[in-house]
Homo-oligomer: A and B are copies of this chain.
Amino acid sequence: MAQQADFDKLANLERPHKSMINIMPLQTGSILTDAARRALVEFGDGYSVCDFCQGRLTGIANPPVNKFVGEMLPEFLGCDEATLTYGARDGIFMVFHAMAKPGDVVVVDANRHYSTAVAAERAGLEVVAVPRSDYPEYVVDVEAYAAVVKERKPALIMVTYPDGKYGNVPDAARIGEIAMEAGVPFLINGAYAVGRMPVKMDALHADFLVGSGHKSMASAGPSGVLGMKAKWHDVVLRPSVESKKKEVECLGCTVRGVPLATLMASFPEVRERVNRWDEQVTKAQWFATSMEELGFSLIGEKPHKHDLMDFETPAFYEISQRVRERGYFLYKELKERGIWGIQPGQTKALKVSTFAASQEELGKVLTAFKEIIDKYR
């Protein structure tokens, strides 16, 4: 049974590491902008974005949800229409549920996120994966989509762009061509792309593009976006028989609260930052090279094209086998040096994102790694 002390704890929740250098892949793309931090306080109360709702979340004029969803997002995503979701997985389920029926096949890449499989399972779909290359690159064979699609006749084709484990960026435009030739709708999971790098759905020949506010759009969660071609409006955004203002796949309204305010408040900056993506890639490649100089190996594509990276770090694992704290020594050593984002206990391989940290800060991370190796040598 919960005690009084447990309830007291709830009323005083804290994150002690807020000001640390953050390299956690889940978090680096969703650190709030100053504008979002103001919106957060302003719109904290429940249903705050609904102050002037006339019955339709995406139609609200104050705050200007209507302009954001109706004009800004389609332009940003390179699509005809957009809507709001709770996150990438929820957008994917919306598309799966609307576009396919139980028993249908969806063809995905072998690097897809677990939530893609879960969304397919919820929608009753069979997931067929296109193969990838072996260790250590794990590159998705985009040309292989053609044969799999021909054989399995899927209701939908999907790619994870990039995947969340290795940060591999597949040639989505080529998959889009294959999808067009096969006449199969094509969905891109851009959870780690939209808001970080320039992505235009139309240029990738896609029918759907999902993005994540709390992964890559400097927003509080849960929040996400879904862009689509106009021709799918009547399927995915079909109105309820009950009420013409309410979309069935959205259950009426989705993000009815503060994450929408932060998503909107950060958007002007997010829209600009994707134009500096080449600097992010340069920084990521420099970091990867520096890590390899320390004796670690980058898993995934080389040269790397994204800030998400997975490194094999056998030197840390070796240390973990002979120190009292076992695998936790690394988390502790990094925390003491103001570095946040390595899972407690992790040593064999480290998943890192260089998106939020400056080159100077990443230099401190590299120095920390070197110091730790030297300390335990």
Nearest-neighbor residue (CB-CB) of A261 within chain B: B13
With beta carbons under 8 angstroms apart, the residue of B52, B68, B257 that contacts A344 is: B52
With beta carbons under 8 angstroms apart, the residue of B37, B39, B121 that contacts A242 is: B121
For residue A347, CB closer than 8 A to chain B, the reply is no
For residue A35, CB closer than 8 A to chain B, the reply is yes
**Contact between A114 and B242 (Cβ–Cβ < 8 Å)?**
yes
Within 8 A of B (CB), among A206-259: 213-215, 218-223, 240-243, 246, 248-249, 251-252, 254-259
A238 to B13 CA separation, bound complex (whole angstroms):
30
Q: A71-B2, A75-B1, A240-B118 are in contact. Are A214 and B40 (CB under 8 A)?
A: no
**Contact between A268 and B93 (Cβ–Cβ < 8 Å)?**
no
For residue A86, CB closer than 8 A to chain B, the reply is yes
Chain B residues within 8 Å of A304, by CB: none
Task: Sort chain A's interface into a size bin.
Answer: 35 or more
For residue A374, CB closer than 8 A to chain B, the reply is no
26 contacts between A and B (CB under 8 A): A1-B71, A2-B75, A7-B271, A13-B43, A17-B51, A26-B50, A27-B47, A30-B46, A32-B45, A32-B46, A45-B220, A46-B215, A46-B223, A86-B254, A114-B240, A114-B246, A114-B252, A117-B240, A117-B243, A121-B240, A121-B241, A121-B242, A121-B248, A122-B249, A122-B251, A221-B257
When all copies of this chain in the complex are counted, the total is 2
Looking at the assembled complex, report how far the CB atom of A342 sits from the nearest CB atom of chain B, in whole angstroms: 12
For residue A323, CB closer than 8 A to chain B, the reply is no
User: 3 smallest A-B Cβ distances: which pairs?
Assistant: A30-B46, A221-B257, A46-B214
Chain A 22-37, CB-CB to B under 8 Å as 1, else 0, gives 0010110111110111
**Contact between B264 and A10 (Cβ–Cβ < 8 Å)?**
yes
Chain B residues within 8 Å of A271, by CB: 7
**Contact between B122 and A222 (Cβ–Cβ < 8 Å)?**
no
